[in-house]
Amino acid sequence: MDSRSLLNKAAVALRQSLKQSHEIASLEAVVLLSHAWKKNKAYIYSHPEISVPTVVEQQFNNLLKRRVRNIPLAYITGQKEFYGLEFKVNEATLIPRPASELFLDKLATIQPRKKTIADIGTGSGALIITSAKLWPDNDFIATDISPRALQTARQNARLHHCGGIGFIKHDLLPPAVNPDIVMANLPYLPPDKMNDPSVQAEPSLALYGGADGLKLYRRLLRQIFSRLHTPSMIMMEAEPDDIPRLRKIAQLYDTENNYRWQIDEDIYGHSRLLTGRRFDR
């Protein structure tokens, strides 16, 4: 079968099974064929009439069957683009979302130098590795409770030649680590959001944030504000509806009112990131 016919057939299946738009279904079909054929997307777009080898067509159809069962595209291809970089992902890591690129946009406003930057709950390592690529004149630490997630993050660090990141298996912030900047994209979904089809295939350990979604952030803030040295900048991502509540919680822990707490919107116009900046730094 030629690639045009194969892609059209796949796009119809994706639209019907996943209720996708024509544009998204067509793009995903191309991504799946690119992965099965080991050809880049430009080649596939420019050769719609070429006959697809039988073995490739079989592999493509196997991938398509997984996708119509709502297995995330990133898990099928084993990679996801984030802030212009490709990252390995698997069922042990959360799939990086475009909304989380707001962390990097926020760091870009201060252009950090000679700081210790910590990524708490690093997952695939997308945040800390991108930070290390953009602002290498800093020290970088990343923690996660999942050994497999840390293994994936280390693989991504090697892939992007970021050998200076300290990866630590720990539940949130290690006692001996006193960062200047904290990034935390912790599990923040409450129970009623855990059944959403969009997250069914992703690890619950990377998603569930307790009864109200903010359990882990309370623990992290308690850890941060129990120390003599507190960061100059704290960034935390959460559900849009929970961001105002997270700000109130952060203000309660900030007993001396040393921080200015700001809410930023993601690319979709939703409140997504809470940032605390110390007045004196």
Residue range 143-187, pLDDT digits in tens:
999 999 999 999 999 999 999 999 999 999 999 899 999 999 998
* Mean pLDDT score across all residues of the chain: 94
pLDDT at site 281: 54
User: Among residues of the chain, what percentage have pLDDT more than 70?
Assistant: 99
Which are the contacts of 179, defined by CB distance < 8 A and separation ≥ 6?
115, 116, 117, 118, 141, 173, 231
Sign of CA dihedral 271, 143, 106, 230: positive
pLDDT at site 60: 97
pLDDT at 210 over 90: no
Average pLDDT over residues 121-147: 97
Instruction: Name residues whose C-beta falls within 8 Å of residue 172's C-beta, 6 or more positions apart in sequence.
Output: 120, 121, 143, 186, 216, 219, 220, 223
Three-state DSSP class for residue 274: strand
- Predicted pLDDT at 189: 86
The per-residue pLDDT for range 226-245, each reduced to its tens digit, is 998 999 999 999 999 999 99
Q: How far apart are the first and last CA of the chain?
A: 63
Q: Is the Cα torsion angle 59, 35, 96, 148 positive or negative in sign? A: positive
Please tell me the CATH code under which domain 82-278 is placed: 3.40.50.150
pLDDT digits (tens, 9 = 90+) for 50-96: 999 999 999 999 999 999 999 999 999 999 999 999 999 999 999 99
Confidence band, pLDDT 50/70/90 cuts, at residue 33:
very high
The answer to whether residue 102 scores a pLDDT higher than 90 is yes
Write down the residue that tokens 């923040």 correspond to.
188
Model-level pTM greater than 0.75?
yes
Please state, for a pLDDT cut of 90, what percent of the chain lies above it: 87
For residue 196, give the amino acid letter: D
- Per-residue pLDDT tens over the stretch 190-200: 887 787 777 77
Q: How far apart, in whole angstroms, are the C-alpha atoms of residue 66 and residue 230?
A: 46
Residue 91 and residue 203 in contact, taking contact as beta carbons nearer than 8 Å: yes
Average pLDDT of the segment spanning 121-125 = 97
CATH architecture of 3-69: Orthogonal Bundle (1.10)
Q: Where are the domains positioned within the chain?
A: 3-69, 82-278
Q: pLDDT tens digits, residue range 242-277?
A: 999 999 999 999 999 999 999 999 988 999 999 999
